């Protein structure tokens, strides 16, 4: 895969859908969890983002021109980088924390499940 084969508009469009759905659902589920402190809201809060990556990753790779490991790795890296940058931009206005809180070790380790979800989505869509 070279840079000319990478569909930038498609990648950005699917990332934007993924980020919007994940961010809104997490904000909603976090509010529910803070109000109810129930275990089911906590479980849904933890599962919402990987499920969004899984769904939109599958939708992306379902009609993608290439579905090899180079494309999967590049897509996962671009989506995670864009997610971290968008989260950093929204950190101060939404949560009141400095933007640097979006790049902690815990946040970076937590992105591993999202990368795995992209890889699983690509493998499922390949069949």
pLDDT for residue 25: 96
Residue 2 in any domain: the answer is: no
Alpha-carbon separation of residue 54 from 41, 60, 68, 91 (angstroms): 20, 10, 17, 24
Q: Are 34 and 98 in contact (CB under 8 A)?
A: no
Q: Residue 2: left (phi > 0), alpha (psi -120 to 50), or beta?
A: beta
Per DSSP (E only), the strands in 51-121 are none
CA-derived radius of gyration, the chain: 15
pLDDT for residue 95: 87
Number of structural domains (the chain) is: 1
Residue 71 in any domain: the answer is: yes
Question: Domain range for residue 55?
Answer: 7-126
CA atoms within 13 A on the CB side of 101: 10
Q: Structure pTM?
A: 0.91
- Chain segment 85-110, per-residue pLDDT in tens: 999 999 999 889 999 999 999 999 99
């Amino acid at each position: 895969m070279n840079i000319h084969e990478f569909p930038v508009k498609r990648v950005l469009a699917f990332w934007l859908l993924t980020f919007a759905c994940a961010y809104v659902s997490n904000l909603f589920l976090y509010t529910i969890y803070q109000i109810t402190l129930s275990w089911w809201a906590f479980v849904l809060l933890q599962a919402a983002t990987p499920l969004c990556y899984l769904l939109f990753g599958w939708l992306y790779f379902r009609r993608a021109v290439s579905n090899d490991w180079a494309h999967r790795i590049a897509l996962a890296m671009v989506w995670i980088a864009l997610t971290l940058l968008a989260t950093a931009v929204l950190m101060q206005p939404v949560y009141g924390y400095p933007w640097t809180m979006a790049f902690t070790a815990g946040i970076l380790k937590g992105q591993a499940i999202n990368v795995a979800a992209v890889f699983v989505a690509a493998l499922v869509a390949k069949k």
